[in-house]
Amino acid sequence: MLLIIRHAKQADQEISHPNDEESIFREVLQKIHLNFNTSLKVSELSSHYYLSESTFRKKFKEHTGYSPKQYLTNLRLDEAKRLLRQTKKPIEFISTEVGFSSSSRFHDLFTKREGATPFEWRMQDRDPK
């Protein structure tokens, strides 16, 4: 038990050093980019780095300018746009492939961000201008 406490205290001290914090968040971002289409949980990410969820969220926003949820959503939407542009995969398939648990959630978030439904965006992007 003492070893666990000592390790946690050491991790807390290390996170306060900018270089250590930078490397941790590079690692976090790499993990998110490699696994963006899976169910990522802040609780799992924060506990892996011995941080409370609130500290993790705060530090994440300091490093990226976004909350973890916003960052992940943007990453998924960017990948969806790439797939809409470069493939003929069905939109519902794309929404699942990029990690959205429901196509209606994907549709709503995409439309809000892009100002067009995924179908409309795909058609606009393919139209010669």
Chain segment 89-107, per-residue pLDDT in tens? 999 999 999 999 999 999 9
Same structural domain, 48 and 96: no
List, in order, residues 6 or more apart from 25 with CB less than 8 Å away.
Answer: 59, 60, 63, 64
1-10 pLDDT, tens digit per residue, is 444 444 545 5
Structural domain that includes position 25: 2-65
Same structural domain, 98 and 50: no
pTM exceeding the 0.85 threshold for the entire prediction? no
Same structural domain, 57 and 112: no
Q: How many structural domains compose the chain?
A: 2
Per-residue burial over 94-121, b = 16 or more CB atoms within 10 Å of its CB, e = otherwise: bbeebbbeebeebbebbeeebeeebeeb
